[in-house]
Amino acid sequence: MNKYESLDFLGEGGFAKVFKAKRKSDGKIVAVKIPRIDEKTSRTFIREVSTWLHLDHPNIVKLYDVDILPVPHLEMEYVEGVKLGDKIIRDLDKYPKPVEENTALKLIKGIAEGLAYAHFKGIYHRDLKPLNVLLKSDLTPKITDWGLAKIGTMSSNRSVMGYTPLYAAPEHLLPGKYGHTDARTDIWQLGVIFYELLTGKLPFEGYTYEEIFGKIVDESYKFTPPSEINPELA
């Protein structure tokens, strides 16, 4: 990784570490994500992520390069985050909720436009959640981590199912009944995020994943209307 000068450690999750770096060849500031994947997974790493290279939209984080040498890594657009008080909020997961209705509409409109562009190209995210929506200084949302859902399931270091349980769509849980994940999945997860932005809560909640999953696939289940949680929406 000697082609970069590391500037800052941005964060770490169960799947990867992310650094702010300067590309030595031209001085460009980028974000470098280093996923924890084993040798077997690295063989499919480029194939799964390569579709991201074809996405170029204001509401999608631009992927500049992907490689497995000297270690598997992604070179991406650096998204600076939005300043709130004395803190820098880099993703929608950490942004305080609920938000004002106009703010929620701006965020959802931006995410939806990014999804519409990707869907037009036949590319689906399949693991849309607030953590995968980065924020610019003007609160423009940018979707990241395209193609990484499947990589996560293959990694020996990540005991997940290829989706985030609290944002799971019915087809994640019962593909035999609802079919495989596709554009519908992204739209479902966008709706869950919209609900969360307006209420500060999730539409499907419970003490266990089994309870939550049961509500998600129960077509007769009625979640609480947002206006009953947030009176300002009434």
Asked about 38 being catalytic, the answer comes back as no
Cβ contact 81:191 at 8 Å: no
Catalytic option among 56, 91, 93, 127 = 127
Gyration radius (Cα) of the chain, Å: 18
Query: Cα torsion for 18, 21, 24, 26, to the nearest 10°?
Result: 110
Cβ contact 142:31 at 8 Å: no
> Which contacts (CB < 8 Å, 24+ apart) does range 145-149 have?
146/49, 146/51, 146/52, 146/55, 146/60, 146/63, 146/118, 147/48, 147/49, 147/50, 147/51, 147/52, 148/15, 148/35, 148/48, 148/49, 149/125
Which residue is it, tokens 């992310």? 18
Which residues are catalytically annotated? Answer: 127
